[in-house]
Amino acid sequence: RRKWKRVVGVLKELEESCETTVGRLKQVVDAMAVEMHAGLASEGGSKLKMLLTFVDNLPSGSEKGIFYALDLGGTNFRVLRVELGGQRSDLDPDVEQQPIPEQLMTGRSEDLFDFIASSLYQFVEKNDSVQSPITKLLGFTFSFPVKQTSVSSGVLIKWTKGFAIRDMVEKEVAGALQQALTRKGLNMRVSVLVNDTVGTLALGHYHDADIVAAVIIGTGTNACYWERTDAIIKCQGLLTTSGGMVVNMEWGNFWSSHLPRTSYDIKLDAESPNPNDQGFEKMISGMYLGDIVRRVILRMSEESDVFGPVSSRLYLPFTLRTPLMAAMHEDDSPELTQVARILKDVLDIPDIPLKARKLVVKICDVVTRRAARLAAAGIVGILKKIGRDGSGGITGGRSRSDIKMRRTAVAVEGSLYTQYTMFREYLHEALNEILGEDIARHVVIIVTEDGSGTGAALLAASHSSEN
Ligand code: ADP
């Protein structure tokens, strides 16, 4: 007996608990805007950290000169050089990527930074004079949690992603790199220290001055945006010439009771190394979507024999990676041959009927649709906070018809958006539904590429007169 009823019941329950009606999404939008407010009002006022970046201007296209960047945020690091001619143009940076030897990820900070400084030295030597008396400027993208103390300095809060260099924790990050550059005799100054989303915002803004926010949806998810300094209440008296500053939201940690949560999310969170952390990220990003689907298939498999005997692979966390989930979701062959292949190769579930394969596609659809729609709600939350959602801002009393909606652009990066068509389409659809077509017409999503590298070099340029 296949017990189809059971399986259909599990699917129905999943659909119900993942429901993202426009009404529900609007509640998420409001919650996001409210939490942003709270995070800006006081330190620890919200699950949203709303970190100050001290980035008080964004590249405009008029930058001139040669600038370098170093991008460190995972198992590889990249060095990059960009030449700016004073006019917006297609940037064509020289880039070199290198893996970080594993022993350096858990050793002493001096060894890591000396290694990086040597690579940078060789890279500079190829293109410019290392001996030049003119100090070269370097933008440093460091994608770990940092408490920023100025645009060019900050203290490491904790390592993530497999790094564990104890002597670095609570130490000044840019300073450690600067010392290594000096030891190496390289005349280069670390002039900005930024997080990858800030780089994305900078690169976006270089090409399009209407960009107000940047969102990354890849392995993890995060966002940053341009805020007026007088709205950053927790830092009273903060003054910048521009009157604004980029705020790094760390939105992966957003949480609200309005988020549609399932039993699978609860278990995924409980079994993760960081329970109660990064709740929004666990529903949206590439690290997790495949694993939510695995959990649903496991439950169905346990409750019926539609998938044959329960495959032991189904018990292994993260066996089903998100790119493969996407491949199943987007399988448009009549017999769903991709689905069959992936189920067999990856999950060790051979030969299931077409009807059951369709069920798997449906699960992928439900999980991705929820993810993309929540990401859209997050974006509208930011627009609402800065009064660009067409409603006149969080406290605005003006009526809708009084508002002349300005063109508003959001920079987006990350494979979920760029590689996963269904995700992208669901995100756009939700933006339209939440904002209404009249407003949504003025909101554009711009894809940037490699903001974490190029953006940092651009920020080194736009902040070059400041320090
Ligand atoms: P980063 O690790 O810097 O965030 P990406 O933006 O490329 O890099 O995101 C990688 C994540 O995107 C991985 O977690 C992977 O699961 C997911 N991913 C990569 N390609 C695809 C794809 N075609 N469809 C869906 N998800 C993908």
The complex's ipTM works out to 0.98
In this predicted structure, what is the pLDDT of residue 2?
66
- Residue identified by tokens 């550059």 is 181
Amino acid identity, residue 2?
A: R
In this predicted structure, what is the pLDDT of residue 398?
52
220-243: b (≥16 Cβ within 10 Å) or e: bbbbbbbbebeebeeeeeeeeeee
Q: What is the mean pLDDT of residues 36-62?
A: 96
What does the DSSP 8-state code read for residue 465? T
Amino acid identity, residue 447?
A: V
- Which is the catalytic residue, given 158, 161, 171, 358? 161
For ligand 1, atom 6, the nearest C-alpha belongs to 414
Q: Extract the tokens encoding 404.
A: 């002349």
Query: Is 161 considered catalytic here?
Result: yes
Pocket of ligand 1 (CB under 6 A): 218-219, 286-287, 321-323, 326, 414-416, 419-420
DSSP-assigned letters across all residues of 148-181 = EEETTEEEE----TT---GGGTTSBHHHHHHHHH
* Alpha-carbon dihedral sign for residues 429, 433, 438, 444: negative
- pLDDT at residue 393 greater than cutoff 60: no
In this predicted structure, what is the pLDDT of residue 467?
46
- Residue identified by tokens 């990527």 is 97
CB atoms within 10 A of CB 403: 17
Confidence of residue 464 (pLDDT cuts 50, 70, 90): confident
Q: Do domains 1-52+207-449 and 54-194 have the same CATH topology?
A: no
Report pLDDT digits (tens) over 176-213: 999 999 999 999 999 999 999 999 999 999 999 999 99
Asked: is 54-194 a CATH 3.30.420.40 domain? The reply is yes
C-alpha span between 463 and 467 (Å, rounded): 7
- pLDDT at residue 465 greater than cutoff 90: no
What does the DSSP 8-state code read for residue 251? G
- pLDDT at residue 403 greater than cutoff 90: no
Percent of the chain's residues with pLDDT above 90 = 87
Q: Determine the straight-line distance between the first and last CA of the chain, rounded to whole angstroms.
A: 73
For ligand 1, atom 17, the nearest C-alpha belongs to 286
94-99, strands of its sheet edge to edge: 94-99, 76-85, 64-72, 136-142, 188-194
In this predicted structure, what is the pLDDT of residue 420?
98
Report pLDDT digits (tens) over 222-241: 999 999 999 999 988 888 89
Report pLDDT digits (tens) over 241-293: 999 999 999 999 999 999 999 999 999 999 998 899 999 999 999 999 999 99
Query: Is 267 considered catalytic here?
Result: no
Domain boundaries defined on the chain: 1-52+207-449, 54-194
In ligand 1, which atom is closest to the CA atom of 73? 3
Alpha-carbon radius of gyration of the chain: 23
Tell me if residue 133 falls in helix, strand or coil: coil
Judging by DSSP bridges, how do beta strands 188-194 and 136-142 pair with one another? parallel
CATH of span 1-52+207-449:
3.40.367.20
